[in-house]
Amino acid sequence: MRIKNIISIFVCALIMIMSVNVVSFADEFNSSDIIFMEDGQEEVIPFSVNILNGRCNISFSNGNANISASVVGKSGVTKTSIITKLQELKSGNWVDLKTSSKKTGGKTCSVTNSYSVTKGHTYRGVAIITAGNESKTLISTSQKY
């Protein structure tokens, strides 16, 4: 009798522990719409309803920062758009310097924008990508020019 009680308590405790881990794990994935990009990374966005993938990168050449971004919608998406921002790090805060946008009537959208920058400053690119009624914010790695 005593062995059965111990086994029953153990099984109940195990079930409770497993269910708590599953719930907190699921909440972690749904809590953020901001994705930080690594150099050269093409991001496949998990758990998206309408966005298949997207990317945002920054590079420098001839005194310009080049921000390239793209979004691909899943099957059935008929509208996509991208808002790109060039940001500069000033006194520990990211400040928007330039903003531009592009919309398409299809399931893909891509853009490359060039902006004049100053040597010795740190910059990053931000892309707000939208497919259908879903949006994600992608942030490139920051780089000093």
CATH number for position 39? 2.60.40
Overall number of domains in the chain: 2
Q: Same domain for 41 and 101?
A: yes
Q: Same domain for 26 and 60?
A: no
Q: Which residues pair with 86 in a beta bridge?
A: 98, 125
Q: Same domain for 22 and 51?
A: no
Burial bucket for residue 126 (CB in 10 Å: 0-12, 13-18, 19+): buried
Q: Same domain for 20 and 39?
A: no
Q: What is the mean pLDDT of each run of 10 residues along the chain (145 residues)?
A: 75 66 39 51 63 93 94 93 95 94 92 94 95 93 91
